[in-house]
């Protein structure tokens, strides 16, 4: 049932980079390599300033921040061919394909509105099956007089969709995009692509952790029907390594003994997956296969400095197993990462997550993954 406080919409306008595609990871890799030439090291501090900007604005921000001995046009001319060669390596963000297939399957008109040039947009989506057909309208930054945060790009998209802006929903990851959407008189769902920045998006009508958490029915759009007993099946993904000592709070503070994995060597994998609570199967090289529920993220209650992986093997162990090889296959999603008002409420939610995971893993949909070859290979 739609939330009566929100407008009902009939069309969806989506941003591309950082909203549907994990462009930021590829851009970061390209900048890291290019800045070495200038004796500089990309540390990601400019990520917030370049997200949602036109390519020239982003280039200007990097040139200024790093004090490069070149102009923004020269830097962009150097950057663009390297970036273009990497377009085929840009992956869809979790939930992107699911959302596009869902809206398309229900006949909801969709537009792409990006500050990138039109040709660049078309090149990016050409690597993703069906995406070109999903969008009846594409508006690039080179087709309007001013890019986001100017509202023109969204007004033009609505015009080409033959609908009023007020009948549209915008989905955006950047503040310039959110600002543009609101200035166009459109309801905006923000999916912040920079970690721990959700508090800055107060002008958005809703802020969600990832596309996995979008509830289209809030806006009068068809609801997803793929949740199963409080869980969302996902394409399985894998991670493994030796069990390390964590923060010392799992058993002592929470009464929950987590088997932490090092994030070293897994930064690109972690950047692909939204923070939140997941579940699946775990194998310890000398002990066997166990049900598992895990958190990925910054644990807002404890305000971690870095994104961590904290699996909880749902079994009573009589001894520690630090150093043992742990392999995980992650098969489902439960909820986004959220903060809690008290330690008690955090513990209660974690125990609820455990029950959800334990029950779900008995379903054939998930239990079949207990025999995944990745678990046998450890």
- Reported as a pLDDT band with limits 50, 70 and 90, residue 271 is confident
In a shared domain, residues 298 and 214: no
More confident residue, 67 or 293: 293
For residue 295, tell me if it sits in a domain.
yes
Query: What proportion of the chain, given as a percentage, has pLDDT over 90?
Result: 58
For residue 188, tell me if it sits in a domain.
yes
3-state class of 119 per DSSP? helix
For residue 6, tell me if it sits in a domain.
no
Is 66 a residue whose pLDDT tops 60?
A: yes
In a shared domain, residues 15 and 71: no
In a shared domain, residues 156 and 94: yes
The CATH number assigned to the domain holding 102 equals 3.40.50.1000
Identify the CA nearest to 47 among candidates 176, 166, 146, 195.
195
Check if the beta carbon of residue 377 is closer than 8 Å to that of residue 252.
Answer: no
Is 254 a residue whose pLDDT tops 70?
A: no
Tell which of 219, 240, 266 closes a domain. 219
Q: Please tell me the pTM assigned to this model.
A: 0.88
The CATH number assigned to the domain holding 274 equals 2.40.30.30
Helix, strand, coil shares, percent, the chain, to 5: 40, 20, 40
In a shared domain, residues 267 and 150: no
Q: Look up the domain containing 64 and give its range.
A: 23-87
- Reported as a pLDDT band with limits 50, 70 and 90, residue 214 is very high
Residue 1 pLDDT: 35
Q: What are phi and psi of 7, to 5 degrees?
A: -70, 150
In a shared domain, residues 289 and 192: no
Q: What is the pLDDT of residues 173-205, one digit of tens each?
A: 999 999 999 999 999 999 998 777 778 899 999
Count how many Cα atoms sit within 13 Å of the Cα of residue 136 in the half-sphere of its side chain.
15
In a shared domain, residues 325 and 210: no
Q: Are strands 260-261 and 232-244 parallel, antiparallel or unpaired?
A: antiparallel
In a shared domain, residues 184 and 283: no
| Number of domains forming the structure of the chain | 3
The encoded tokens of residue 175 equal 């503040």
Give 348-362 as a DSSP string: HHHHHHHHHHHHHTT
Residue 111 pLDDT: 98
- Reported as a pLDDT band with limits 50, 70 and 90, residue 16 is very high
- Reported as a pLDDT band with limits 50, 70 and 90, residue 302 is low
> Which active-site residues does the annotation give?
15, 17, 310
Check if the beta carbon of residue 272 is closer than 8 Å to that of residue 22.
Answer: yes
CA distances (Å), origin 218, targets 5, 6, 189: 9, 7, 11
In a shared domain, residues 311 and 291: yes
In sequence order, the 6+-apart residues with CB closer than 8 A to the CB of 221 are 9, 12, 103, 106, 108, 169
For residue 151, tell me if it sits in a domain.
yes
Residue 378 pLDDT: 60
Residue 114 pLDDT: 96
For residue 1, tell me if it sits in a domain.
no
Check if the beta carbon of residue 316 is closer than 8 Å to that of residue 276.
Answer: no
3-state class of 140 per DSSP? coil
In a shared domain, residues 73 and 163: no
Is 137 a residue whose pLDDT tops 90?
A: yes
């Amino acid at each position: 049932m739609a939330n009566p406080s929100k407008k009902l919409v009939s069309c969806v306008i989506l941003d591309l980079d950082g909203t549907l595609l994990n462009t930021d990871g590829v851009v970061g890799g390209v900048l890291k390599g290019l800045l070495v030439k200038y004796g500089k090291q990309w540390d990601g501090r400019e990520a917030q300033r370049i997200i949602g900007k036109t390519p020239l604005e982003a280039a200007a921000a990097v040139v200024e921040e790093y004090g490069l001995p070149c102009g923004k046009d020269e830097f962009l001319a150097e950057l663009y061919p390297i970036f273009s060669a990497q377009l085929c390596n840009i992956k869809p963000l979790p939930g992107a394909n699911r959302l596009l297939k869902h809206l398309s399957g229900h006949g909801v008109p969709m537009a792409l509105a990006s500050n990138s040039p039109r040709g660049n947009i078309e090149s990016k989506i050409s690597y993703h099956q069906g995406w070109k057909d999903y969008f009846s309208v594409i508006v690039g930054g080179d087709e309007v007089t001013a890019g986001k945060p100017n509202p023109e790009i969204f007004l033009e998209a609505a015009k080409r969709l033959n609908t009023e802006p007020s009948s549209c929903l915008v989905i955006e990851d950047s503040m310039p995009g959110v600002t543009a959407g609101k200035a166009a008189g459109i309801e905006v769902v923000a999916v912040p692509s920079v970690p721990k920045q959700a508090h800055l998006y107060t002008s958005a009508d809703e802020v969600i952790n990832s596309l996995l958490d979008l509830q289209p029915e809030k806006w009068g759009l068809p609801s997803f029907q793929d949740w199963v007993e409080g869980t969302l099946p996902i394409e399985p993904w894998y991670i493994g390594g030796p069990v390390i000592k964590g923060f010392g709070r799992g058993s002592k503070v929470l009464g929950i003994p987590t088997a932490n994995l090092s994030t070293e060597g897994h930064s690109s994998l972690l950047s692909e997956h939204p923070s939140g609570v997941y579940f699946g199967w775990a194998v310890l090289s000398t002990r066997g296969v166990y049900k598992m529920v895990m958190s990925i993220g910054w644990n807002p209650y404890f305000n971690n400095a870095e994104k961590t992986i904290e699996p909880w093997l749902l079994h009573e162990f009589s001894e520690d197993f630090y150093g043992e090889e742990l392999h995980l296959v992650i098969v489902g999603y439960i909820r986004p990462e959220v903060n809690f008002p008290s330690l008690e409420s955090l513990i209660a939610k974690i125990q609820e997550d455990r029950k959800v995971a334990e029950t779900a893993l008995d379903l054939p949909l998930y239990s079949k993954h207990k025999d995944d070859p990745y678990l046998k290979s450890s």
